[in-house]
Amino acid sequence: KAVKDKKSSQSGSAQATPLYPAPVSDFNSLAPRYRLSKALLRNIKDNGYSTTTEVQLAALSLLLDTRAHLLAQEQSQDQKQQQQEPVLDVDLLSIAPTGSGKTLAFMIPLIHALVLARRSQTHSGPQAIILAPTKELASQIANEGRKLALNTAIRITNVRKGMHLGSDSSPDADAPEKDVPPVKADILVSTPAALKNAMGDTNTTSHALSQIRFLVLDEADVLLDPLFRDQTLAVWNALSSPSLRLGFWSATMGSNIEELVKATIKDRAERLSETTST
Ligand code: ADP
Ligand code: MG
């Protein structure tokens, strides 16, 4: 990851700014550091989680720091300049074995970011997409997410066939899908195929997806393998936000996931710069 090393001070004795925020070994210590909402913290406890697993230990502080920064940036330019904390504005690739708790590691920062966003903004469209290769997995992730989001006002929808993603406030009441109510959610959890299906007509959808700021690929090695790749990219390429943050989660180093991820990001960046320059 490219991390800017801010040489902070002229005084030679100054400590270098740490590149990574300190890891978190238990969920309680997240509260004072990142001001997690009480509801989110309670849900973590109520579900029996107290100490973090290794991947959570590493990923939570990275993502929470990143997202705290993103939100501060949106809130005020002044605040951004004042911010002294080391900040990693990262897309994350996380590789950790099956059963190591990756779901929580991406879900907690996501819910936290959206809770904060809710306090400062009024928009209603979905802001995050989590893709998973199978319906079963997508539904498990949505369930886990809902338990964590209980009483936070963050809505999590498991996208299924027949749903459509027209915007909440869509002015085109004449749309043929008008009999199907649009999905109202902050976080969409889906297989690539179900999401593509729900996207339907691109005009209304690009509006509905214009506020997506987070894309999480769970089992990213599978989602980027030849079987799923085109569908995954179709979803990814429909997201227009220039500040889209990406999370790749995988249980395996197999299929050269790191190369794959880099190549895919580069592809997309080139495509975006082509479309904006023409
Ligand atoms: P992965 O996606 O890495 O395969 P999961 O996110 O599905 O793993 O988690 C596997 C199991 O571990 C789940 O039942 C989950 O509830 C449990 N788990 C996750 N984090 C913790 C934790 N910090 N403490 C105890 N159990 C946990
Ligand atoms: Mg998993």
Task: List all residues whose CB is within 6 A of at least one atom of ligand 1.
Answer: 49, 52-53, 56, 96, 98-104
For residue 208, pLDDT beyond 50: yes
Question: Model confidence at 13, in pLDDT bands (50, 70, 90)?
Answer: very low
Specify which of 46-50, 76-80, 167-171, 228-232 reaches the highest per-range mean pLDDT.
Answer: 46-50
ipTM of the complex: 0.99
Cα(103) to ligand 1 centroid in Å equals 7
Q: Taking residues 29-40, what's their average pLDDT?
A: 88
Cα(216) to ligand 2 centroid in Å equals 12
Cα(96) to ligand 2 centroid in Å equals 9
**Position in ligand 1 atom list of the atom nearest CA 100:** 3
Cα(123) to ligand 2 centroid in Å equals 30
Query: Roughly what angle, to the nearest 10 degrees, separates helices 102-120 and 38-46?
Result: 160
Dihedral pair phi/psi, residue 52, rounded to 5°: -85, 150
Spatial separation of the C-alpha atoms in residues 162 and 174, rounded to whole Å: 18
The answer for residues whose C-beta is within 8 angstroms of residue 147's C-beta and 6 or more apart is 43, 47
Dihedral pair phi/psi, residue 157, rounded to 5°: -120, 130
Closest residue to atom 10 of ligand 1, CA basis: 99
Closest residue to atom 27 of ligand 1, CA basis: 101
